[in-house]
């Protein structure tokens, strides 16, 4: 319920800003109203889905320590851990040997 309330208040603020900026730029009530209705409506849906995704990521957290170890301590640990899982692991570093390679011995 908190997510929905937060989304609705954000939509009202966004409508006001969108209308004000568009009206200031165009001087047209109809254009300002149209832009202020369409753009915030799309952003409101995206914002709600974004909040749900973050809530789901937080629900998967096992401990606050996990967030501090894997992130910045502000609930971003799960996001960072998830992103790390998308990056392929680095292959182990090859050890340097003083012996010339087979190719180098043939050239010399």
Q: What is the pLDDT along the chain (108 residues), one digit of tens a residue?
A: 888 899 889 888 888 998 999 999 999 999 999 998 898 788 878 889 999 898 888 877 644 555 555 555 555 556 666 666 666 666 666 666 666 666 555 655
Q: Which residue in 48, 39, 42 sits closest to 21, CA to CA? A: 39
Cα–Cα dist 31/9, whole Å: 23
């Amino acid at each position: 319920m908190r997510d929905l309330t937060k989304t609705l208040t954000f939509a009202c603020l966004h409508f006001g800003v969108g209308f004000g900026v568009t009206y200031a730029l165009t001087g047209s009530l109809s254009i300002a109203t149209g832009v202020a209705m369409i753009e915030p409506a799309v952003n409101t849906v995206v914002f709600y889905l974004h909040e749900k995704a973050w809530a789901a990521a937080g629900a998967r957290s096992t401990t606050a320590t996990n967030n501090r170890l894997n992130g910045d301590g502000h609930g971003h640990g799960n996001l960072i851990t998830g992103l790390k899982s998308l990056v392929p692991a680095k292959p182990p570093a090859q050890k340097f040997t003083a012996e010339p390679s087979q190719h180098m011995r043939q050239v010399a």
